[in-house]
Structure 1
Amino acid sequence: MVNAWPAVVAASAGFVLGAVGSLLTGRLLRQRARIASSWWLGAIITALVLAVLGWRIGPRGELIVYAFVLALGVPLAIIDWVEHRLPRIVVVPQLLGGAVGLGLLCVARADAAPGIRALWAMLAATGFYLLLAVVVEGGVGSGDVGLAAVVGLVTGWSGWAELAGALVLASFVALVLLLVPRKGGGRAAVPFGPCLLTGMAAMLAITG
């Protein structure tokens, strides 16, 4: 297959990046979580995600940007899953790195249109989650708003339909998690970080 070798390269890079990212996960977790901070968990998840993107996207500049964003997304998803928080020390570099990477693609291709659309999509996703933070008191935090900006930027690069699809998928994942009963009765609190990242990764893989 044409994109077999980008998938292999992306998976190999993802394994290394995931193992290194697990060090960040272990440092930022406030509570001891041996499995969550293990090197192999981060390595396997990152390798699988990047392998799929490498296969779907191929040897294009976007793959490097997406790999950077999602390599940082795995520690964020794990931390949010365990402790329901998204550290700004990871979200901010993730957003800035994605913006710089996509900006360089605009310059290299002499085409500013995708970059401008990505910025507008970032603002739209940020505004939407800010509204959710106001309406759903205590359900959406500042970390979720920051991560929504990342999702808007990355998916908006491809188009508005990709942004909408990512947010819809994220909402679907959150709804599924919300319906899962927890021990002692009631419903489990839903961390939005993994939902947003899953929606973004899935939409990037679907659209290629």
Structure 2
Amino acid sequence: MDWLLIVMGALYGAVAGALVPRARYRLAVEPEEGWRAVGECGHAVGGWLGPARCGVCRGRYGPGALWPAGVTAALCGGLAAAVGARPELGVWWAAAPVGVLLAGVDWSVRRLPDVLTLPLALGVAGLLGVAALIPGAAGSWPRALMGGLVLGGAYLALFLLHPSGLGFGDVKLAAGLGCVLGWYGWWVLALGAFAGLLLGSLYGTVLMATRRASVMPLGPFLLAGAWLGVAGGGYWTG
């Protein structure tokens, strides 16, 4: 196990995760609202990356950086341990903070914005195409693209059959995650997809058992399942 790579991944993840809070605050709005441009203190919010603090009065207008930094550090360090120094690791590291941001926004307002889901899907597909050209890559780019079509198509079918059960943002997210999972194999795609649904079902069961009526965000669980699938695929194909 390359401990230096794991430490590098964790440090990168901590820094990248610490840049998430401001974007989360600005994007966590209802679909009919524009992105936030003013903080709760009344001062303008500058930029998209960094802490959710006002540059004028230093007041906080959103969640802190501790949890996104910690989660992203754990994700990137874990991916480094499972995948090793292979070309696709850079793709997973690039996607991790976007996934943390998506999870935070969805948890806050039950929404997966197109401004995140679509670039994630297109970016992952393009970067994996580059990774496939570098010696040492352990996956298949054509299969990754097919995985995106398969998982995205499956969630589209679920959305058409039961539109009140999930949003169209989940469909777009599934397309990107299918591309990620398909890279290592169909069994990884099945594992990641099943893990996401299982985690979401367990959380929904807890909500019902505790009688906490709530619209459940599915995105964080899809992302968690995808991370488990990629980590497992990276480890077993190493």
- Report the TM-score when normalising by structure 1: 0.91
**Closer, same or farther: CA 36–131 of 1 in aligned 2, 3 Å:** farther
Describe the SS at the equivalent of 2:166. Answer: coil
Per-residue deviation, 1:110: 10
Gaps of 5+ in 2: 31-39, 41-51, 53-59
Mapped partners of 1:7, 1:76: distance in 2 = 24
Which residue of 191, 197, 200 maps to 1:171?
197
Mapped partners of 1:184, 1:205: distance in 2 = 32
Gaps of 5+ in 1: none
Contact 2:87 2:134 in 1 (8 A): no
Mapped partners of 2:61, 2:79: distance in 1 = 25
Greater mean alpha carbon deviation, residues 90-99 or residues 143-152: 90-99
Contact 1:3 1:56 in 2 (8 A): no
1:78 aligns with 2:104: yes
Per-residue deviation, 1:109: 4.0
Which aligned runs of 4 or more in structure 1 are off by greater than 3 angstroms? Answer: 31-36, 182-188
Matched-pair identity in %:
33
Deviations 1:162-197 (A, max 9, x none): 000011001101111111236993543321101110
| Mapping 1:153-168, distance limit 5 Å | 153-168=179-194
- Report the TM-score when normalising by structure 2: 0.80
The AA in structure 1 aligned to 2:69 is A
| Mapping 1:13-52, distance limit 5 Å | 13-30=12-29, 37-52=63-78
Per-residue deviation, 1:22: 1.9
- The residue number in structure 2 matching 1:9 is 8
- The residue number in structure 2 matching 1:121 is 147
Greater per-residue helix proportion: 1
Mapped partners of 2:189, 2:209: distance in 1 = 35
1:132 aligns with 2:158: yes
Contact 1:182 1:188 in 2 (8 A): no
* Count of aligned positions: 206
Which residue of 175, 190, 199 maps to 2:225?
199
Q: Which has the larger radius of gyration?
A: 2
| Mapping 1:92-107, distance limit 5 Å | 92-107=118-133
Deviations 1:65-94 (A, max 9, x none): 011112100010011112110011111121
